[in-house]
Amino acid sequence: MIDWNRREILKYGLAFPSLPIGIQELAYGTAFPERPEKPKKRILLICNSLGFYGKYFFPRERGELNTSTYLKGFSNPEKLTVVENLFHPGMETSNHDSEKSFLTGAPHPESPHFTNTVSLDQVLASKMGGQTRFPFLSFSIYDRGWGCSWNDQGVAIPPMHDEEQIYNRLFGQEDLTAKKREIRQNQIVLQALKHDLLVLEKTEEKSAVESYRRLIRQLENRLEHEVHWLSAPKPRVSAKLNEDPEFAFSTKVSNLFRLARLAFQTDSTRVITLSLDWIYGAIDVPGASGGWHTLSHHGGRKETLQKLSCVERDILRHFDQFLKEMDQVSEPGGSLLDHTTVVMGSNFGDSSNHTCQNLPTLVAGGGIAHQQHRVLEAPTPLCNLWLELLHRHDIDVDRFGSSVQDMQLLAN
């Protein structure tokens, strides 16, 4: 088994000279269990919040992936499906707010009275999250406090955006004595708070007390989960993060993909969301610089489109690299990619016009019998696909968000 792992390393060394040393010393116990078992299912959900320019993203000829300007030349075309004609109902006037509903499908996020609903990843995590150190992870580029993940109360789960911090959360070694002391203290504090809630309950408003009680319960569970994982050493990896101040944006995107791969590979989590979000500030990618948002309003102008496509290509380049790397990690019964469903999508169909029809949606990996390009005749709720993904991950529900039915879009 160790030899097998070494081969894995060699392959990495060859494929990615940019990795200084390559991945080594994965904790065998967690990544490669002694006894072969059913491959673990994982999922990565990505929202590219300014979308992709449709004419470059979608294949020009039906069914032919290599007629897509962006996707031709992808390393694993046989493991991709682009689905055309998906949309979220209720986003007609949502503009950028539609981003909040990407994984929830909750309509009219622009309304001042909007409360979001639970996001797809959280439903998945509630089922798939119990066996890993992190029930789920959510990443974003910027520190906006929200990304793709929303809890069952519709409250944003702040994504992690600092690559180094993510790296340390996943792989950094901790002072276990201090950690234990902290957990013990936190448990005592929770006891005190529970006690106080009993006092408050008599006089205070129910809703406040209830909402707080729920938080305390969640924290108790979380601490228990932490105590459990305290006894298992964190996996060690020697892969490093990239640092390239010239293309900070590009570097960040590639690092987030790398961290996602490492997290899956070490079985630190099985559910990840990645919010490729934006701010008004300008970014630099190879070939272009400017405000991503400004560029996204290309209005069909050639020069602006050219720059925008540099940004989009850059993101997809890292995405392709990620898929390639995932596919090069062998697991019993296939590659890591074969056991990980990856969705690259967006809340915008056309960010230049702020419209949310025909959302660019790409599904990769996951052991799906891929069809490269599937065009739906009628506009179809994206939540149908979300529902199908829930079913594919053994979650038996009848509906999710605005879903109508599981259309078996990914069944060939």
Size of the site for another protein (CB under 8 A): 67
Question: Could you tell me whether strands 42-48 and 271-276 are parallel, antiparallel, or unpaired per DSSP bridges?
Answer: parallel
Q: How far is the CB of 188 from another protein (least distance, A)?
A: 5
Cα three-residue angle 101-105-109, rounded to 5 degrees: 45
Rule CB under 8 A: is residue 268 a binding residue for another protein? no
Q: How far is the CB of 214 from another protein (least distance, A)?
A: 9
Q: How far is the CB of 406 from another protein (least distance, A)?
A: 29
Span 176-235, contacts to another protein by CB under 8 A? 182, 185-186, 188-189, 191-193, 195-197, 199-200, 203-205, 207-209, 211-212, 215, 218-219, 222
Q: Which residue type, as a one-letter code, is found at position 183?
A: I
Rule CB under 8 A: is residue 297 a binding residue for another protein? yes
Span 51-90, contacts to another protein by CB under 8 A? none
| Residue whose token pair is 């290509």 | 313
Nearer to another protein by Cβ, of 78 and 210: the residue is 210
One character per residue 341-380, x = contact with another protein (rule: CB under 8 A): -----------xxxx-------------------------
Rule CB under 8 A: is residue 408 a binding residue for another protein? no
Rule CB under 8 A: is residue 17 a binding residue for another protein? no
Among 18, 38, 299, 378, binds another protein (CB under 8 A): 299
Rule CB under 8 A: is residue 146 a binding residue for another protein? yes
Nearer to another protein by Cβ, of 41 and 169: the residue is 169
Q: How far is the CB of 243 from another protein (least distance, A)?
A: 9
Nearer to another protein by Cβ, of 324 and 354: the residue is 354
Rule CB under 8 A: is residue 156 a binding residue for another protein? yes
Rule CB under 8 A: is residue 291 a binding residue for another protein? yes
Q: How far is the CB of 163 from another protein (least distance, A)?
A: 14
Q: How far is the CB of 47 from another protein (least distance, A)?
A: 15
| Residue whose token pair is 């797809």 | 120
Site residues for another protein per CB under 8 A:
92-95, 97, 100, 110, 112-113, 115, 142-146, 151, 153, 155-158, 182, 185-186, 188-189, 191-193, 195-197, 199-200, 203-205, 207-209, 211-212, 215, 218-219, 222, 245-246, 279-282, 289-291, 293-294, 297-299, 301, 303-304, 352-355
